[in-house]
Structure 1
Amino acid sequence: MSLALSASERAELVARHQAAIDGSLKTRLITTGIVAAMIALFIYALTTFELDLWRIIHGFSNLGTFVVLMLPPDPGSFARAIVFVKALFETIAIAFLGTILAAIFAFPLGFLAAKNVVANRVVHFLARRSMDTVRGVDALIWALIWVNVVGLGPFAGMLAIMTSDVGAFGKLYSEAIEAADRKPVEGVTSVGGSKLHEIRFGLIPQVLPVIASQVLYFIESNTRSSTIIGIVGAGGIGLYLAETIRTLEWQQASFVILLVLAAVSVIDLLSNKLRFAIIGKRAV
């Protein structure tokens, strides 16, 4: 049986669904407006930032000077190296604990912000806007706030990472939940399952691998972020990095940077193994 359409049938089909093919006038206007705004922003950035290719080329020569000053990496002494390594583990602990707590606290928020779970527009709106508000403040700003609230140290750093990531996790969770297949949920409903059963047996098994992958990535990313927030007194190795740069100890600074790079690489390797252990080899 041939499924090919004749020219007249094809023309009739296109004419019948012309509005869906072309899209509404409102959609076209919105799309055109967004593209025009992006182009205008790009042109504004080019003209305002005074981009200069020669300044970039000259900057590379200065960068080369700093690289020479950083070689070879040298902690200064064995005792100093031990201090740096201890601070690195503190940074990793800040990132790990802050990420895990944020993932736990954001879990219920993700369901509240998902349209296919909570139909109440008021609850959905409040959940979304609350996460937007928290996510709109950078982790470095949260670190400055928490340092003034609880004092200097890794506790403030952990709270900064946790607060910053709650909004991001909540948004990612809600998007994963909204993109979940409805068939398992409908299957649970058809056998008399309640709303909680739908979430427990229909939604969570689908989104859990996605959530686990996101949490593992954030642990790696937050290891870098914890280095930055340490500069403002939130604990970790960032304080020593700022100190070595301020005192022009470039070889010690390069040693600290290499420690952070090594830690991130190891965490990335471990997180990949854990991720594939959770989601299986089908993702390869």
Structure 2
Amino acid sequence: MRADYFAKKKRNTLSVLLILTVITLVSIFITEYNVVKGITSVPTAVQWALSNFYPTKESLSKLPDILEKLKETLLVSIAASTVGAVFALFFSILGSNTTGVNPLIKSVCRSIATFFRNIDVAAWAMILLFSFGQSSLTGYFALFFGSFGFLTRAFTETIDEASGSSVEALKATGAGYLSVIFQSVIPASLPQMISWVLFVIETNIRSATLIGLLTGSGIGFTFNLYYKNLSYDIASLVVIVIAFTILSIEFVSNYVRRAIL
């Protein structure tokens, strides 16, 4: 039986690899992608980057302006994540199998979250450009919608996993709905929820760079401006600042996760 199990698992693995290989080959054929040219162009790209894409002493004079735009990006990302988390908490409580009020409301909450989650933040930014134009507000709402959809799903699963037994125990003692939420659901789920919010903040800071290219705001717009003006030394400084910021936030986020989980 054990030999049959491993043989079946091996066949399934080979089948998946074969399917992925076929999909890759078909994609290469349809897009007319030249694999050899793509591989051989890597050394040339690396050589160009080493020759042109590095900060200089003169580019450091632009650092205060870059940091100002970085601050704007950070604040927008954090605000979108935290406000999205507040709305997500409300919808996840109503959409959870453990705390849902009734099947209809639960289904509606889950459907709304699924809709917002399945549209990428870049797509949201392009949609919202028609309403708000190129501004920080467009980037904020794009990140907010993506954060809300993702966190609602994450919070719902967290509530179902973390508080099922305690909710049943409180209900058995005759506790009311609000008592169950504030005495069981939120305390049991809060550490994991904070972890998810920190993760979304990290993700939004990365996404905000791309969003800035579309909305003409933040650090993304700054990079695009200098890159299009062929100021590669300043553009490289922007990339270094973004990378350092993301690594720093990830370090802090991981530390907080270890402390609360």
Same fold (TM over 0.5): yes
Corresponding residue number in structure 1 for 2:255: 273
Partner of 2:240: 258
Over 3 Å counting, the alpha-carbon distance change for 1:38 and 1:132 in structure 2 is farther
Query: Which residue of structure 2 lines up, in the alignment, with residue 213 of structure 1?
Result: 195
1:175 counterpart (141, 153, 157): 157
Report deviation, 1:79: 4.4
**Counterpart mapping for 1:71-150 below 5 A:** 71-74=53-56, 76-118=58-100, 120-150=102-132
Per-residue CA distance 1:10-55 (angstroms, 9 max, x = gap) = xxxxxxxxxxxxxxxxxxxxxx99x979964652233222466523
Question: Structure 1 stretches of 5 or more lacking a match?
Answer: 1-31, 280-284
Structure 2: gaps (5+ residues) = 1-10
Structure whose residues are more often helix by fraction: 2
Over the matched positions of the two proteins, sequence identity in percent amounts to 24
**In the alignment, structure 1 residue 232 sits paired with structure 2 residue 211:** no
- CA deviations 1:193-231 (Å, max 9, x no partner) are 112222221221111111000101111111111110000
* CA positional deviation for 1:65: 2.7
Deviations 1:83-116 (A, max 9, x none): 1111111111111111111111111111122122
CA distance 1:234–1:113, change in 2 (3 Å):
farther
Q: Secondary structure of the equivalent of 2:217?
A: coil
Q: Give, in angstroms, the shift of residue 267 of structure 1.
A: 1.0
C-alpha RMSD over aligned residues:
2.6
Deviation at 1:70, TM superposition (A): 3.7
Q: Distance in 2 between matches of 1:36 and 1:121?
A: 39
Worse overlay, 50-59 or 212-221: 50-59
Matched, 1:45 2:16: no
Aligned-residue offset at 1:155? 1.9
**Alpha-carbon distance change, 104 to 39 in structure 1, aligned in 2, over 3 angstroms:** farther
In the TM superposition, residue 270 of structure 1 has moved relative to its aligned partner by 1.8
User: Does the 8 Å contact 2:163/2:189 carry over to 1?
Assistant: no
Residue pair 1:143, 1:234 contacting (<8 A) in 2 also: no
Residue number in structure 2 paired with 1:189: 171
CA distance in 2, matches of 1:147, 1:76: 35
User: How many matched pairs?
Assistant: 248
Matched, 1:154 2:136: yes
